[in-house]
Chain A
Amino acid sequence: MNTLNELHHYDVLCETINIGATRAVQRLGKFITETSPYSTQQEIPFSVQNAELIQLADVSPSTLLLDNDVFGVVTQEFTNDMNAKAMLLFSEESILFIMRQIMGEELDDEMLQELEDETLCELGNIMINACISSLADAVGKPIPSSLPQCEHKSCAELVNMIKKSENVVVTSHIALSINERHSTKGEIFFLMNSDTLESITNALRN
């Protein structure tokens, strides 16, 4: 069982992830509203649910808030001595919706398909790096990471992959209200083993 002290350390980690996720979703808002010279979007309201630490035994679609069949997933691994990776997940529908906001409605289906992975990868690059940069600044040392890898996975594949990794998961759920009719949501996961969890929480404590 975790001691009260350990739980407090995890609260500090979750709070740091909250700050990173907020920075990430602000940048997503900017990406949608300001990246394209043709964008007509105004500022987008968003919310970030409190980050939560989920033990391996509790990993399931419901605890991870995965309520779609297929996800676009961007992954970046930490390449220092930490055994951790960060993941960004959006439903296929959300990715296409975000792309239409950025590229404009006139983009045909063929072009959308051609640019889907490129856009997802850049979204991941921007959002994951916002989180990792917050974490690195909070622990007071650089966190180098791999280039973003983009893939499409079913909900079952994702859950199996996470269970096989034998890592704990820190999850952050984000939501944006694009307009009155449409909101979009995504998930940011940090997967890390117990040594890395300990190392990060100790660095945050110091």
Chain B
Amino acid sequence: MSKKVLVVDDSKISRMFIRQHLIAKRPDWAVIEATTGEDAIRIIEEELPDYCTMDINMPGMLGTEAAKLILETHPDIRLVIFSANDQENYQQDASEMGTILISKPVTEASVIQALDYFAGV
């Protein structure tokens, strides 16, 4: 069944490669993008995606703050944190939210890890 995934990242390069790997693995999925946590919160309300990938360090609010708000209001969305900043405190934040932190760079293997998490594997 076709799904919708929101990719939140201020880096054009990261968004480009997450999109490419997602489309390669799930060609029937719709991929939408946001560049800040604030935009992501707005787009979630409009688009109601099934899944979300979230960067941490972006202009404006931290991705972990946005993720927390999104998961509080939309607990059915499966969300992973994709970040180069994998300090222990952020890994702990992700764990407390019931999600996972996947370290950048974005690779085929890391996108498969996200897809497995989305599928509940």
Contact = CB atoms under 8 A, between A and B. Distances in A.
A82 to B, nearest CB: 14
Indicate the size class of the contact surface on chain A.
Answer: 20 to 34
Contacts of A130: 84
B86 A133 contact: yes
A111 B8 CA distance: 23
Interface centre among A36, A119, A121 (most CB of B within 10 A): A36
A118 B20 contact: no
Contacts of A137: 87-88
Contacts of B105: 27, 30-31, 34-35, 122, 126
B87 A35 contact: no
A155 interface: no
Nearest to B83: A129
Given A30-B107, A34-B109, A129 B17 contact: no
Given A118-B13, A126-B104, 12 more contacts: A27-B104, A35-B106, A118-B12, A122-B105, A125-B104, A126-B105, A129-B83, A132-B87, A133-B87, A136-B87, A142-B88, A147-B59
Contact of A125 (B11, B17, B107): B11
